[in-house]
């Protein structure tokens, strides 16, 4: 690979500031929980279904909040109710949802019995998740690992059954990872919709049923092709851990799971987001799911040269948050993008420098590289060339995952042919330039090397400032992506609570133990 000459101590320093930023928020991660975290626990007990479109996990958590007992955690109340009524977890949840059961009216059962029951229930679901992880590992062993850069394409018809056809076709052309785009504005729903989507808007909902349908389709085509085809979705918005758990249960392989995206781009409260990402990433870590971060999006709202350092800074913060949740380096898909205005002379050199910096900072991680999007216009022929240049950067700078650009980016969500041509473009560039980069050394005083150093320097100073003034303060000043957010503002702020002395989340405890987290 082409090497950047960069002072390692500067990298270490920047990383250290990021670590301090994350460490200073441990109080939040340890002492608080949220509505969606509790709903996740409900789901992990195997509880599912909906009544008049409202998911049962929501109804259960609403009940606990109404009765003012949520601070003990959903696990306790469900187990206690099961023992007191002799009903199954699902039955208890249905009784609560139908208003027939008030959990606070039941006698408290002996702690020992409760713990034993919770242990059994936890064990059962965690075993299923472990079996899914094992299944994936075996498949990769059988068929071989994903290629690098992996080809990542989206399907977004709004009908999960059309999506399956398009995904299978893409797999045949050479796609390694299929992303099923979510319906517009799902991130702002404080619940996960139920059932299969056939008329979604801008995509399909992330539902357990949709996950299952696509998983089956990809397993079929993968077995036929002797390649394991990975499936990805988005654990973002107001239901991060719930989506993570659905993915773990249905064997998704990759999950977009950013620490700060929801705060900046969806105006979700910062405490809520940080709490939710903590547990959702832990679930992903436990299930062996690769996470991806969303820095690529910063540059759609800010200038890609001027604000390049915010991408680097965010990558380093995202990395530290990931480690706190138990994510391993090899499963940390750091995001970044090719978004500089193509009219700028030497923009390709800038792009090259930025991409190289990302792989230099995260050499053991499958960085996820995003195509030109903002500067894509209706001139599909030009966009096709821009995407080829982007593919070349990726191959030469050793990116892990290439989200392919579509020549019709500025027009519509991809048609079957758009996607096929994009894959052909990537296959062509990746193959013709396979070992191209090995022929070159970068001069330390070359433009590219210096540009990468500059971005790192700016990121380092920025992280220093953030670590001194605190992440919340920085966000309220608009330091990230030019967007201002406050600690007490944003959506979902009423959905966080302080845990009581006798709170517990058996799944988090077990996961922490098995992932060797403190």
Partner 1 sequence: MSLNIDPTKIKPYGDTLDDGRMQFSFALPAPANEQGKEAAKQLLQQMGLTEIEISYYSDLGEGFTHFVAYANTNISVDLTKIKVKVVDTPIMEMEENDKYLDENYGKKITIVGACIESDAHTVGIDAIMNMKGYNHRFGLERYRNFITYNLGAQVSSEELLKKAVEVNADVILVSQVVTQKNIHIKNLTKLINLAESEGLRDKFLFICGGPRISHELAIELGYDAGFGSGSYSTDVASFISFHFAEKK
- Integer Cα distance of 102 and 67 in angstroms: 8
Structure tokens at 499: 């845990």
Please give the residues from 404 up to 433 whose contact with ligand B12 meets the rule CB under 6 A: 409-413
Between 62 and 220, name the residue whose CB sits nearer to partner 1. Answer: 220
Phi, psi of 499 (to 5 degrees): -75, 145
Binding to ligand B12 (CB under 6 A) within 263-302 occurs at 265, 297, 300-301
Rounded CA separation 449/4 (Å): 6
The catalytically annotated residue of 139, 271, 331, 368 is: 368
H, E, C per residue of 197-250:
CCCCCCCECCCHHHHHHHHHHHHHHHHHHCCCCEEEEECCHHHHHHHHHHHHHH
By CB under 8 A, name the one of 144, 145, 363, 378 that touches partner 1: 378
How many chain residues are in contact with ligand B12, going by CB under 6 A? 18
Q: Give burial (CB, 10 Å; 0-12/13-18/19+) of 219.
A: middle
Residue 148 or 172 with smaller CB distance to partner 1 = 172
Least separation in angstroms between CB 417 and ligand B12: 14
Catalytic residue among 296, 298, 331, 479: 296
Q: Among 67, 113, 116, 412, which residue sits at the site for partner 1 (rule: CB under 8 A)?
A: 412
344 touching partner 1, by CB under 8 A: no
Reply yes or no on whether 286 is catalytic.
Answer: no
Work out the angle between the directed axes of helices 111-143 and 240-250 (0-180°, nearest 10). 60
Minimum CB distance to partner 1, residue 34 (Å): 23
Active-site option among 194, 234, 261, 350: 261
Q: What is the CA radius of gyration of the chain?
A: 23
One-character DSSP codes across 29-66: HHHEEEHHHHHHHHHHTT---EETTEEHHHHHHHHHHH
Distance CA 8, CA 5 (A): 9
Task: Indicate whether 185 belongs to the interface with ligand B12 (CB under 6 A).
Answer: yes
- From the list 6-14, 279-287, 372-380, 505-513, the region that binds partner 1 by CB under 8 A is 372-380
Q: Which of these, 128, 84, 126, lies nearest to 514 by C-alpha position?
A: 126
Phi, psi of 432 (to 5 degrees): -70, -25
Is 201 an interacting residue with respect to partner 1 (CB under 8 A)?
A: yes
Least distance CB 166 / partner 1 (angstroms): 8
- Residue 377 in contact with partner 1, rule: CB under 8 A: yes
Nearer to partner 1, 341 or 438 (CB): 341
DSSP string across 341-361: -TTSTTHHHHHHHHHHHHHHH
User: Both tokens of residue 280?
Assistant: 């959702």
When asked if residue 185 is in the footprint of partner 1 (CB under 8 A), the reply is yes
Q: Which of partner 1, ligand B12, none sits in contact with 420, Cβ below 5 to 8 A by type?
A: partner 1
Chain centroid offset of residue 296 CA: 13
- Is residue 172 within the footprint of partner 1 (CB under 8 A)? yes
Helix (H) or strand (E) holding 177: strand 177-180
User: By CB under 8 A, which span of 31-39, 77-85, 143-151, 414-422 interacts with partner 1?
Assistant: 414-422
* Residue 7 bears catalytic tag: no
Residue 184 binds ligand B12 (CB under 6 A) = yes
| Total of chain residues touching partner 1, rule CB under 8 A | 23
Among 410, 461, 515, 517, binds partner 1 (CB under 8 A): 410
> Residue 104 binds what, of ligand B12, partner 1, none (CB under 5 to 8 Å, by partner type)?
none
**Closest to 419 in 3D by CA, of 428, 407, 431:** 407
Task: Kindly report the backbone phi and psi dihedral angles of residue 368, in degrees, each rounded to the nearest multiple of 5, phi listed first.
Answer: -110, 115
Give the number of other CB atoms < 10 A from CB of residue 116. Answer: 13
CB of 98 to partner 1, least distance (A): 33
Nearer to partner 1, 420 or 463 (CB): 420
Q: How much helix, strand and coil, in percent to the nearest 5, is found in the chain? A: 60, 10, 35
Q: How far is the CB of 418 from partner 1 (least distance, A)?
A: 10
Give Cα 168 to chain centroid, integer Å.
Answer: 23
Alpha carbon distance 454, 392 (integer Å): 23
323 is catalytic: no
Residue 454, interface with ligand B12 (CB under 6 A)? no
* Residue 203 binding ligand B12, by CB under 6 A: yes
Question: Which structure tokens are listed for 299?
Answer: 């540059």
Tokens at 453, concatenated: 């150093």
**Residue 193 interacts with ligand B12 (CB under 6 A)?**
no
- Residue 182 binding partner per list partner 1, ligand B12, none, with a CB distance cut-off of 5 to 8 Å that depends on partner kind: ligand B12
Indicate whether 417 belongs to the interface with partner 1 (CB under 8 A): yes
For ligand B12, which is the closer residue by CB, 293 or 297? Answer: 297
Return the active site residues. Answer: 261, 296, 368
Site residues (vs partner 1, CB under 8 A) = 165, 168-169, 171-173, 184-185, 201-202, 300-301, 374, 377-378, 410, 412-413, 415-417, 420-421
Site residues (vs ligand B12, CB under 6 A) = 181-182, 184-185, 202-203, 265, 297, 300-301, 373-374, 376, 409-413
């Amino acid at each position: 690979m082409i090497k950047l000459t960069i002072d390692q101590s500067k990298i270490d320093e920047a990383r250290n500031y990021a670590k301090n930023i994350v460490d200073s928020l441990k109080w939040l991660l340890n002492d608080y929980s949220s509505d969606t975290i509790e709903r996740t626990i409900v789901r992990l007990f195997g509880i599912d279904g909906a009544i008049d479109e409202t998911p049962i996990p929501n109804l259960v958590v609403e009940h606990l909040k109404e009765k003012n007992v949520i601070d003990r955690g959903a696990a306790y109340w469900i187990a206690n109710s099961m023992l007191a009524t002799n009903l199954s977890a699902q039955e208890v949840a249905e009784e609560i949802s139908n208003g027939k059961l008030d959990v606070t009216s039941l006698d408290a059962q002996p702690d020992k019995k409760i713990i034993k029951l919770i242990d059994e229930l936890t064990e059962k679901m965690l075993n299923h998740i472990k079996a899914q992880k094992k299944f994936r590992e075996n498949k990769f062993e059988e068929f071989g690992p994903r290629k690098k850069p992996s080809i990542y394409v989206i399907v977004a018809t709004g009908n999960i059954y059309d999506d399956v056809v398009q995904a299978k076709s893409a797999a045949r052309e050479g796609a390694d990872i299929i992303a099923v785009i979510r319906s517009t504005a799902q991130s702002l729903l404080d619940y996960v919709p139920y059932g299969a989507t056939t008329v979604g808007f801008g995509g399909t909902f992330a539902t357990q049923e949709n996950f299952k349908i696509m998983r089956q389709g990809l397993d079929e085509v993968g077995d036929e092709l002797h390649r394991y085809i990975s499936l990805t979705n988005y654990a973002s918005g107001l239901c991060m851990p719930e989506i993570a758990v659905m993915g773990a249960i249905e064997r998704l392989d990759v999950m977009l799971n950013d620490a700060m995206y929801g705060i900046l781009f969806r105006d979700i409260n910062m405490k809520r987001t940080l709490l939710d990402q903590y547990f959702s990433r832990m679930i992903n870590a436990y299930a062996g799911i690769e996470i991806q971060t969303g820095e690529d999006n910063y540059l759609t709202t800010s200038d890609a040269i001027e604000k390049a350092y915010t991408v680097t800074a965010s990558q380093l913060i995202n990395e530290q948050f990931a480690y706190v949740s138990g994510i391993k380096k090899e499963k940390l898909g750091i995001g970044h993008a090719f978004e500089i205005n193509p009219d700028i002379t030497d923009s390709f050199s800038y792009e090259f420098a930025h991409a190289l910096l990302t792989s230099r900072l995260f050499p053991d991680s499958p960085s996820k590289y995003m195509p030109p999007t903002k500067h894509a216009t209706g001139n599909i022929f030009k966009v096709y060339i821009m995407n080829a240049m982007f593919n070349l950067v990726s191959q030469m700078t050793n990116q892990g995952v290439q989200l392919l650009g579509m020549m019709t980016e500025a027009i519509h969500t991809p048609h079957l042919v758009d996607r096929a041509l994009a894959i052909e473009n990537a296959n062509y560039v990746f193959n013709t330039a396979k070992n191209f980069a090995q022929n070159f050394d970068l001069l330390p005083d070359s433009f590219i090397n210096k540009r990468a150093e500059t971005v790192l320097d700016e990121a380092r100073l920025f992280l220093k400032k953030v670590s001194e003034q605190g992440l919340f303060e920085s966000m309220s000043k608009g330091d990230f992506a030019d967007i201002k957010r406050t600690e007490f503002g944003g959506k979902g702020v009423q959905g966080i609570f302080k845990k009581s002395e006798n709170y517990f989340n058996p799944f988090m405890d077990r996961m922490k133990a098995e992932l060797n987290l403190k």
